[in-house]
Amino acid sequence: MTANELRRIYVKFFEERGHKEIASASLLPENDPTVLFTTAGMHPLVPYLLGESHPQGRRLVDIQKCVRTGDIDEVGDDTHLTFFEMMGNWSLGDYFKEESISMSFDFLTNNLNIPVERLAVTVFEGDLLVPRDTESETIWKSKGLKQSQIYSYGREDNWWGPVGLTGPCGPDTEIFYDMGKPKCSDNCGPSCKCGKYVEIWNNVFMQFNKEADGSFTELQQKNVDTGMGLERVLTVFNGKTNVYDTELFIPVMIRLNSIIEELDAEMSIRDKRIICEHIRAASFILGDPRKICPSNTEQGYILRRLIRRMIRIFKKSGIKQNYLCDLAEVIIHQYANIYSELAENKEFIIEQIQKECDLFAKTLDLGLKKADQYLKNIGMNTALSGESAFRLYDTYGFPIEFTCELAEERGCSVDVESFREKYAEHQDKSRKGAKDKFKGGLADHSIQTARLHTATHLLNSALRKVLGDEVSQRGSNITPERLRFDFSFHRKVTPDELEDVERIVNEAIEKNIEVSVKEMKLEDAYCLGAIGVFAGRYGENVKVYSIPGYSDEICGGPHAGNTGELGSFKIIKEEASSAGVRRIKAVIALLDINCGNSI
């Protein structure tokens, strides 16, 4: 089965069961400060999981582009990826466990012809606060799974949420494929990392709300959120042992091997896999409509880390030329028919990769000079400290193998054990940060953030009035304290222009205009003059939030009910975000509706 066939039969299967297909959203989640990237299909659906009505209905299906970097150091093994496609189906207060599990089982066994005996599933074992998920267990048994194929685990493995201290949460049931390897021990099961079991699907049941006192109450709207990794399923179905032997990676691997052979270089299998995986991830991040560039912060930092890691591997293999652009072209050509934004942004993708390669080449030169200083100071037949070796790695991107080679050339050695201790400390800190930043979930949709969301609509409209239609939204990020809005513009916005923008927004606030929402056909929305970030990527039906006289935008919500709720609007900073993109940070002075005072 090809990837296109898998995508097609998956969507068709759920469409035949009343689901409406929705387009893949941006890799950069809008107005969600809890994550840097879209790490799951549920991110674009947050407002609807919280109760807003979706214009396409209560049953949805899609294939969502995702990026996860918490396991970046595991990339190169058989299954871990930073970029992947997640096939997902949702019930927004419609069906629940029985239908969800039944459809998953039906698709796997009847459409993909996976033998029942090769499946293993996990369910929530229960604790003092929430009982065991016996319902899911009973359903799986009714499908023909033996007790020996059903495993129960605690919250670490089979519980989702809440993201904060309170909010929606619930048990999940995960589906694994038995790779046929022998068990590594008597306790070997799906939670084991030996490789016998590979997770292919996860059905999350948003069943409870965690209250402030730590108790759990049943949600009025129970949702189902499922996710199945396209790459892993393709691997399993085609009888492969790793994702790199599938058609998704074969074209770029062939090109990489030809480069290595042409230059008579050597590269390990793991390093080849890392390059093929990272160039795909970098191409998709750069190809996103919001056009993120390599930088030292947030999404740009992750992008820079991916590109520089590839450059280091090439350098370690003795390849000095930049072949990343060649590899990116393979990815663009391969995926252009599925994700048109890659073809549309091809020039930008290649340009940014070339710029980062040129910039890092200068950094490498500085690093070589620093390495020379370190090695001269320690003298012959002595060891470079692990701290110095780690500084070369952390500051200049030198892999330990590269530093060891430099030391050997000068008759020195490196305290590799001490380096690995420093590196382990660094990894531990990174994982803790990733756990917090990439945990994913329902963003804060409080009254404050809803009002700030409305403020971004007014800001977008005001910018277009003051600066012209050249302005288009490139991204936004909202926390309870402030909004951040990125937009395309070729120069710094002047103080006078910013003052005009502020005045227009505050004028709309003072008029106490009702914010209305209507569901309509996409073509009707465009006829109305509504703007949207992702032209061509919306479904047949959309929601349009209107502030008469100021703004009409295709959006999922949520929003304030009236502009007067915003109190007042103040721009606190305007700066460059990347080439051709400006960034505004702003705040609103909220009002206490009951007493009319600012809070």
Return binding residues for Zn(2+): 453, 457, 555, 559
The C-alpha atoms of residue 439 and residue 35 are separated, in whole angstroms, by 7
The C-alpha atoms of residue 410 and residue 12 are separated, in whole angstroms, by 63
The C-alpha atoms of residue 47 and residue 59 are separated, in whole angstroms, by 15
Q: Which residues are annotated as a binding site?
A: 453, 457, 555, 559
- Residues 32, 438: contact at Cβ < 8 Å? no
Q: State the first-to-last Cα distance of the chain, in angstroms, to the nearest integer.
A: 59
Nearest to 566 by CA among 584, 589, 585: 589
The three-state DSSP-derived secondary structure of 504-515 is HHHHHHHCCCEC
Can you tell me whether residue 114 is helix, strand or coil?
A: coil
Give the CB-side neighbour count of residue 317, counting CA atoms within 13 A: 26
Under 8 Å CB-to-CB from 101, ≥6 apart: which residues? 136, 139, 140, 143, 173, 203
The C-alpha atoms of residue 326 and residue 354 are separated, in whole angstroms, by 10
- Residues 480, 446: contact at Cβ < 8 Å? yes
Neighbours of 348 (CB within 10 A): 16
The C-alpha atoms of residue 300 and residue 293 are separated, in whole angstroms, by 5
The values of phi and psi at residue 375, to 5°, are -70, -35
Under 8 Å CB-to-CB from 504, ≥6 apart: which residues? 458, 461, 462, 465, 466, 550
Query: Based on the number of CB atoms within 10 Å of its own CB, is 43 exposed (0-12), middle (13-18) or buried (19 or more)?
Result: buried
For residue 374, give the amino acid letter: Y
- Residues 383, 403: contact at Cβ < 8 Å? no
The C-alpha atoms of residue 352 and residue 307 are separated, in whole angstroms, by 10
The C-alpha atoms of residue 218 and residue 508 are separated, in whole angstroms, by 40
Can you tell me whether residue 160 is helix, strand or coil?
A: strand
- Residues 325, 355: contact at Cβ < 8 Å? no
The three-state DSSP-derived secondary structure of 561-595 is CEHHHHCCEEEEEEEEEECCEEEEEEEECCECCCC
Nearest to 21 by CA among 119, 95, 113, 87: 87
- Residues 149, 119: contact at Cβ < 8 Å? yes
Can you tell me whether residue 142 is helix, strand or coil?
A: helix
Buried b / exposed e over 421-459, threshold 16 CB at 10 Å, is ebbeeeeeeeeeebeebbebbbbbbeebbbbbbbbbbbb
How remote is the C-alpha of 422 from its chain's centroid? 28
The C-alpha atoms of residue 509 and residue 391 are separated, in whole angstroms, by 52
